[in-house]
Amino acid sequence: MLRLHCLAGALFIAVAAINPAHAVDPIGLWLIADGTAKVRIFPCGEAICGTVAWLSEPLDAETGRPQTDKLNVEPHLRSRPMLGVSVILSMQRRSEDNRWIGRIYNPDDGKTYQASIEMLDGSRLKVEGCETVLSAMWCDAQIWTRSSN
């Protein structure tokens, strides 16, 4: 019996060494850097996606009604509720590391950016969005923390 446990342990270590990228993944609930929202990241086909799951201020201070996506560059989307808005858009995993590449929607300015996310460890996620401004690439990054609820 001891030999079977040792074999199973050795097999687990060997599989983990072959595929270390699966040691941590971004699936779950994340508190954004400024603490005003949480994003739920989930699998969507071969990619990952994420939606706004919680807001520190769910009501709009001006109207007293639920927050909407009022800064969206698409006028017909400005009245949609902020809770449930897709912000991580079909990011594809890069096989060589704990990074996913795709697009991210920023409700703070209503624009969509080229982006990447990278697992720093089991509880921290680096989120970086980039855009081209006057022929130069400009990027901004945040560290999100895993949330238990």
What global pTM score does this model have?
0.81
Tell me the C-alpha distance between 89 and 124, whole Å: 19
Tell me how far CA of residue 111 lies from CA of 48, 73, 87, 103, 107, in angstroms.
19, 6, 10, 10, 7
Tell me how far CA of residue 30 lies from CA of 4, 19, 137, 142, in angstroms.
39, 24, 27, 12
Q: Can you give the pLDDT of all 149 residues of the chain as single tens digits?
A: 444 343 334 333 333 343 444 447 899 999 999 999 999 999 999 999 999 999 999 999 999 999 999 999 999 999 999 999 999 999 999 876 789 999 999 999 999 999 999 999 999 999 999 998 888 889 999 999 999 88
Top CATH class of 24-147 equals mainly beta
Locate the domains of the chain by residue range.
24-147
